[in-house]
Amino acid sequence: MDSPQSQQQQQLQQQQQQQQQPQPVVKKKETRGRKPKPKEEKKDEQQAKKMKAHQQPSVDERYTQWKSLVPVLYDWFANHNLVWPSLSCRWGPQLEQATYKNRQRLYLSEQTDGSVPNTLVIANCEVVKPRVAAAEHISQFNEEARSPFVKKYKTIIHPGEVNRIRELPQNSRIVATHTDSPDVLIWDVEAQPNRHAVLGATNSRPDLILTGHQENAEFALAMCPTEPYVLSGGKDKLVVLWSIQDHITTSATDPAVSKSPGSGGSIIKKAGEGTDKTSDGPSIGPRGVYHGHEDTVEDVTFCPSNAQEFCSVGDDSCLILWDARTGSSPAVKVEKAHNADLHCVDWNPHDDNLIITGSADNSIRMFDRRNLTSNGVGSPIYKFEGHKAAVLCVQWSPDKSSVFGSSAEDGLLNIWDYDKVGKKTERATRTPAAPPGLFFQHAGHRDKVVDFHWNAADPWTVVSVSDDCDTTGGGGTLQIWRMSDLIYRPEDEVLAELEKFKSHVIECAAKP
C-alpha cells in the first residue's frame, strides 16, 4: 500500500500530465490564424474571447477614430458584411467600363461551419472611378449590411474549405484553389454551373485536378505570370510545379474570349483531348517536385520574368530560391530568413531582384537576390517593423515599383514605400511613432486581415478581407478601398493642386 506522500506525488504527476496534454500551440501554428473561429476548440475560443475582452476598448477606439477619418483618407470605400468567414479574395477580369464606375469580377471563398457546404463565390463588383464618390457618401456605410457594390454572380460548391484562390494571368476565368487536401483544384469559373449551397448538395466537379502532394497543401499557391504554370507547397515540405499548357485550349489566350466571359463552354480540355490521351480523368501529375524545406511550406511565388525560377517560404524559417533548369534542389537557401515561421512571400513585378517576406515575428523583410549566395548566406536589405502581430499576407503594388502592402493578425493593412526609408522629407513629415517607410494604414478591419489583393485593372484599389465574426456578428468583412491620391502623389503636384483651392478655403473660413 502506497504512503500518503507517494499518493500525493502520483496525483501531482497526473495533474502535470493532464496539463501537458492539450496542444493549442500546435493547432495555432497549423491554422496561422486563418481558420474561422467556429472550427476552433472550445478552450482556444474561450481564451481568445478573454483576450478580446481585454483588448476590446483599444480596438473600438482605433476603429472609431479611423471611421471619422474615412472621408479624408479615402477616394472610395465600400464595406461588405459576409455571411461566413472568407480566407481568400482576388480580383478577376474587368468586364465593363462606364462613365462613373467599372464592373469587375471578384473571387471569394466562404468557409462554413458545416451546416451548408463550403463555396467558391464569383461576384460582380462595381468599382467607382477616382474622384467620383462624394466624401459624405463613402462615410455612410453600415457595418452589418451587404454593400450594394458587390453582387453574387455564381456559386461553386467546393469539395472542402477554400483556403487560397489564384487566377491564371493568361486568362483569369481559370482559377486554382487550395483546400484541406493534397490536391490543387482548377476551375473554369465561367463554364461551371451556378449552384445553390444547401445542406447535402453534391460538390461541383473541378475542371482539372493537380496531383503530386503527399500530404495536405493548404495555403502555398501561385500562378505564373508568363506561362500557364501552377506552383504549390504543403505539409509534406515539398514544392510542386505543374504545367496546364496541354489542358487549356487555344481560346485561353484569345483576348476576345477574355472580354466575353459568358460566351461559351469550358476552355479546359476534357480527358482524351489534345495531348492528354493517357489520362482516364481530369487530373495531371507534376512537372517537377522540389525538396529543400524541413517543415510546412506556407507560401510560394514565381519570378515575374522567368517561369523557371520561383521561391518559397515555410515554417522552417527558410526562404528558398529554386531554378527548374538546374534540378530539384534549392538554388539558394536562406536559413533564418526571419526569427519565426514565414507565412508569405512576394516577388517584385517591376524589379525581379527584390523579394519581400512576412513572418510570425511580426516583421516584413526585403531581400535582394544578388546579395544571396548558394551556401545560404544572406541578410535582408531592410526590415519593416510596424505590425503588432503575425504578418499573414504581403504583396507588391502593380502601380509603383517601391510600394507594397502587408496585412496581419493585428487587424491592420499597412502600405509601405521603401523609397521613403531614410529620406529627409519623410523624417520631417512622419510622426515620431510611425515606422520608416510606412505611409498609409488601413484600419477598417477589427480583427485579423487574412488576405488582400491590389487591383491591376484599377490603380491603387485594394480588396481586403478579415475574419472578424465575433466583432461584426457575421462571418467576416470584405472591404474595397482606394486611398486619396493626395497621399501618394508627388508633393509638388499635391501642393500645386491645393493652391487652386486656397482662396475658396479662406473665403469659407471668413464667413460667420
Residue 245 clears pLDDT 90, i.e. is over it: no
Q: How far is it, in rounded angstroms, from Cα 77 to Cα 293?
A: 41
Average pLDDT for 29-42: 45
- Write down the pLDDT at residue 54: 52
Strands (E), 227-267: 229-233, 238-243
Cα dihedral 106, 111, 115, 119, rounded to 10, equals 40
- Per-residue buried b or exposed e for 310-327, using 16+ beta carbons within 10 Å of the residue's own CB: bbbbbbbbbbbbbbbeee
- The answer to whether 458 and 429 have CB atoms below 8 angstroms apart is no
**pLDDT per residue over 450-502, tens digit each?**
999 999 999 999 999 998 766 555 578 999 999 999 999 988 888 888 888 77
Q: How far is it, in rounded angstroms, from Cα 362 to Cα 384?
A: 9
Residue 421 clears pLDDT 50, i.e. is over it: yes
Residue 43 clears pLDDT 70, i.e. is over it: no
**pLDDT per residue over 257-306, tens digit each?**
444 444 446 677 764 443 333 334 489 999 999 999 999 999 999 999 99
SS3 58: helix
**Percent with pLDDT over 90 in the chain:** 62
Q: Where do we find the cell 464595406? A: 79
382-384/364-368 β-pairing: antiparallel
Q: How far is it, in rounded angstroms, from Cα 430 to Cα 219?
A: 36
Average pLDDT for 407-432: 78
pLDDT confidence bin for 37, thresholds 50/70/90:
very low
Q: How far is it, in rounded angstroms, from Cα 42 to Cα 39?
A: 9
CA nearest to 388, candidates 418, 363, 356: 363
CA nearest to 340, candidates 367, 318, 356: 318
Q: How far is it, in rounded angstroms, from Cα 369 to Cα 352?
A: 8
252 or 92, higher pLDDT: 92
SS3 230: strand
Residue 205 clears pLDDT 80, i.e. is over it: yes
SS3 57: helix
Residue 427 clears pLDDT 50, i.e. is over it: no
**pLDDT per residue over 438-447, tens digit each?**
999 999 999 9
**Phi first, then psi: what are they for 254, rounded to 5°?**
-85, 115
436 or 10, higher pLDDT: 436
- Write down the pLDDT at residue 282: 86
Q: Report residue 332 as a C-alpha cell.
A: 539558394
Q: Please name the helix (run of DSSP H) or strand (run of DSSP E) that holds residue 63, with its range, or none.
A: helix 42-73
173's torsion region: left (phi>0), alpha (psi -120 to 50) or beta?
alpha
pLDDT confidence bin for 56, thresholds 50/70/90:
low
- Write down the pLDDT at residue 52: 52
- Write down the pLDDT at residue 133: 86
Q: Report residue 238 as a C-alpha cell.
A: 515539398
Q: How far is it, in rounded angstroms, from Cα 176 to Cα 232?
A: 10
114 secondary structure, DSSP code: S
